[in-house]
Amino acid sequence: MESVNTTPTTEAPAIRLQGLRKTFGSIVAVDGIDLTIKAGEVVALLGPNGAGKSTTIDLALGFATPTAGSATLFGGDPREAITAGRVGAMLQGGALLPDLTVRQTVTLIAAAHRHPLPVHEALERAKVADIAKQKVNKLSGGQLQRARFAVAIVSNPDLIFLDEPTAAMDVETRRTFWQSMREFTDAGRTVVFATHYLDEADAYADRIVMMAGGRVVADGTPAEVKAVVSGRRIRASFDFEWTPEAEAELYELPGVRSVDRRGDVLTIVSDESDAALRTLLSHHADVYDIEVTAHSMDDAFMALTAGADDRSASSTVRDAALIGDRS
Ligand SMILES: Nc1ncnc2c1ncn2[C@@H]1O[C@H](COP(=O)(O)OP(=O)(O)OP(=O)(O)O)[C@@H](O)[C@H]1O
């Protein structure tokens, strides 16, 4: 009788980067990154231009050799995972053959894999079934991105890397793209995507890894990253006379961090926004058009990536909160 090994195995992380570093001459593109991404996580890689996002993805895929450190996928060499069809990628500038149709392109890639999705399924999932007969060189920028997504998923990968996948997509196409991504990840697949659209990261990622100057400056859930910039913003129009005394009084409101005035609009940032608003209204019952908003991902991005080039950036949200507090 054949023996069956029923011992449970601990699944290796989808991605493990250890002490990862890459230099190009005197340029330090990636400056010592330690990152573990578990299977099933949807991770957004954020950071300003030149932060090292694309280089990190290239290193994780084994497309570039690290100057120091290591990158593994599912506990092994990235090239093994790629050969096994476990990894799909949509990279910046990844070219497709111009004279093939979308269907021919996806069919060609499917043939190179052992356990591909049926071609019609990949076309439907990427929402390109309607343009399957169109030649690649006749596609618009947004259509081309969707075709490249079909190519990335046809191997039926467990892990997918997307480098600025929605660049060149209009608002509606972006929405449709993320809907198909969400359907695709419902099956527990791991996704790492780099983007400049902070709203996308906020809406679709479980985890945000923010990079600046080749380092990780924040790593946490979208809510944790946004919480780095503490307080809420109260904005209101006012009619009262703006005097030094009136301004000083506003600084006495509970939890106030800042007071700003533009024309007849007042902005107060407070850690105790409910109490601050109540007190404000008790002193100035006539303020109107009141808005209370949480800080946005844009605010967190600005606070976390500012001054990263001085290489003093920290590596966790907790530490990064200090950067936010000081700014
Ligand atoms: N092949 C290369 N040769 C020389 N320098 C490079 C190379 N690739 C990247 N760099 C440099 O490494 C740094 C990081 O670049 P990278 O493309 O990884 O950043 P990024 O965060 O993806 O930026 P973007 O948002 O603009 O795509 C930059 O200073 C870039 O100029």
Query: Which residues form the pocket of ligand 1, taking CB atoms under 6 Å from any ligand atom?
Result: 24, 27, 29, 47, 49-55
Query: Cα(239)–Cα(106) distance, rounded to whole angstroms?
Result: 63
Q: Check whether residue 215 and residue 251 sit in a common domain.
A: no
Question: Residue 87: which H helix or E strand, with range?
Answer: strand 87-90
Residue 313 lies in a domain: no
Of all residues in the chain, what percent carry a pLDDT higher than 70?
Answer: 90
Give the distance (Å) from ligand 1 centre to CA of residue 28: 9
Q: Check whether residue 214 and residue 243 sit in a common domain.
A: no
Residue after which a domain boundary falls, among 226, 245, 279: 226
Residue 204 lies in a domain: yes
Give the distance (Å) from ligand 1 centre to CA of residue 306: 18
Q: Check whether residue 213 and residue 178 sit in a common domain.
A: yes
Note the pLDDT tens digit of each residue in 193-230: 999 888 888 889 999 999 999 999 989 998 888 877 77
What is residue 305's three-state secondary structure?
Answer: helix
Sign of CA dihedral 276, 280, 281, 282: positive
Ligand 1 atom at shortest distance from the alpha carbon of 64: 1
Ligand 1 atom at shortest distance from the alpha carbon of 52: 18
Q: Which of 30, 54, 61 to mutate to test the pocket of ligand 1 (most atoms within 8 A of CB)?
A: 54
Q: Check whether residue 178 and residue 277 sit in a common domain.
A: no
Q: Check whether residue 161 and residue 264 sit in a common domain.
A: no
- Tell me what the pLDDT averaged over the chain comes to: 85
Q: Check whether residue 61 and residue 163 sit in a common domain.
A: yes
CATH of the domain at 287: 3.30.70
Q: Check whether residue 42 and residue 80 sit in a common domain.
A: yes
Q: Check whether residue 179 and residue 289 sit in a common domain.
A: no
Q: Which domain holds residue 258?
A: 232-294
Q: Check whether residue 238 and residue 206 sit in a common domain.
A: no
Give the distance (Å) from ligand 1 centre to CA of residue 29: 6
Residue 135 lies in a domain: no
Query: Cα(314)–Cα(215) distance, rounded to whole angstroms?
Result: 8
Q: ipTM of the predicted structure? A: 0.97
Cβ atoms of residues 208 and 201 within 8 Å: yes
Pair type for strands 87-90 and 68-73: unpaired
Residue 154 has pLDDT above 60, yes or no: yes
Residue 307 has pLDDT above 70, yes or no: no
Residue 133 lies in a domain: no
Note the pLDDT tens digit of each residue in 67-85: 999 999 999 999 999 988 8
Note the pLDDT tens digit of each residue in 309-320: 544 333 344 344
Cβ atoms of residues 22 and 30 within 8 Å: yes
- Global pTM reads 0.78
Residue 241 lies in a domain: yes
Q: Check whether residue 289 and residue 163 sit in a common domain.
A: no
Work out how many domains the chain is built from and give that number: 2
Neighbouring residues of 177: CB distance < 8 A, sequence distance ≥ 6: 127, 145, 146, 149, 165, 166, 169
Q: Which of 215, 221, 214, 159 is nearest to 190 (CA)?
A: 159
Residue 318 lies in a domain: no
Q: At what angle do helices 317-326 and 297-305 cross, to 10 degrees?
A: 90
* Alpha helices per DSSP H over 38-168: 53-60, 78-83, 102-111, 119-125, 141-153
Q: Check whether residue 161 and residue 263 sit in a common domain.
A: no
Residue 250 lies in a domain: yes
Residue 140 lies in a domain: no
Give the distance (Å) from ligand 1 centre to CA of residue 228: 27
